[in-house]
Structure 1
Amino acid sequence: MKDLGSQIAYWDGVGATKTFTHPVQLSWLTGVDPDARVLDYGCGYGRVMAELSEHGFRDVSGVDLSPALIERGRQLRPDLRLTVLESPPDLIDASESFDVVLLFAVLTCIPDADAQRALVDELNRVLAPGGLLYISDMVLQDDERNYSRYAAYARQFGTPYGVFATDDGAVCRHHDVAELHALLSDFDLVDERGIEVATMNGHRSQAVQLLARKR
Structure 2
Amino acid sequence: MGHSDNQLAYWDGIGATKTFTHPLDRGWLTDLDPTARVLDYGCGYGRLMGELSGYGFTDLTGVDLSPALVERGRRLRPGLRFAVLEEPPHLPHPAASFEVVLLFAVLTCIPDAAAQRALVAELHRVLVPGGLLYVSDLLLQDDERNRARYADHAERFGAPYGVFTTSDGAVCRHHELAHLRTLLAGFELVHERPLDVGTMNGHRAQAVQLLARRR
Give the aligned partner of residue 55 of structure 1.
Answer: 55
Structure 1 unmatched ranges of 5 or more = none
Structure 2 unmatched ranges of 5 or more = none
Contact 1:6 1:88 (8 Å CA) reproduced: no
1:13-162 correspondence to structure 2 within 5 Å: 13-162=13-162
**Normalized against structure 2, the TM-score is what?**
0.98
Percent identical residues = 70
Give the aligned partner of residue 174 of structure 1.
Answer: 174
CA RMSD of aligned residues (A): 0.6
Shift of 1:6: 3.8
Question: Would you identify which runs of 4 or more consecutive aligned residues in structure 1 move more than 6 Å?
Answer: none
In structure 2, the CA distance between the partners of 1:26 and 1:6, relative to structure 1 (3 Å rule), is: farther
Shift of 1:5: 1.1
CA distance in structure 2 between the aligned counterparts of 1:27 and 1:184, rounded to whole angstroms:
21
CA distance in structure 1 between the aligned counterparts of 2:161 and 2:187, rounded to whole angstroms:
25
Counterpart amino acid of residue 67 in structure 2:
P
1:100-158 deviations in Å (ceiling 9; x for gaps): 00000000000000000000000000000000000000000010000001011001000
Give the aligned partner of residue 184 of structure 2.
Answer: 184
CA distance in structure 2 between the aligned counterparts of 1:167 and 1:145, rounded to whole angstroms:
12
Contact 1:135 1:209 (8 Å CA) reproduced: yes
In structure 2, the CA distance between the partners of 1:6 and 1:32, relative to structure 1 (3 Å rule), is: farther
Shift of 1:81: 0.3
CA distance in structure 1 between the aligned counterparts of 2:117 and 2:212, rounded to whole angstroms:
15
Counterpart amino acid of residue 170 in structure 1:
A
The 3-state SS of whatever aligns with 2:180 is helix
CA distance in structure 2 between the aligned counterparts of 1:27 and 1:92, rounded to whole angstroms:
30
Give the aligned partner of residue 164 of structure 1.
Answer: 164
Counterpart amino acid of residue 175 in structure 2:
H
Counterpart amino acid of residue 127 in structure 2:
L
Contact 1:5 1:111 (8 Å CA) reproduced: yes
CA distance in structure 2 between the aligned counterparts of 1:206 and 1:80, rounded to whole angstroms:
31
Counterpart amino acid of residue 159 in structure 2:
T
The 3-state SS of whatever aligns with 1:181 is helix
Count how many residue pairs are aligned between Structure 1 and Structure 2: 212
CA distance in structure 2 between the aligned counterparts of 1:6 and 1:154, rounded to whole angstroms:
18
CA distance in structure 1 between the aligned counterparts of 2:82 and 2:51, rounded to whole angstroms:
14
**Normalized against structure 1, the TM-score is what?**
0.98
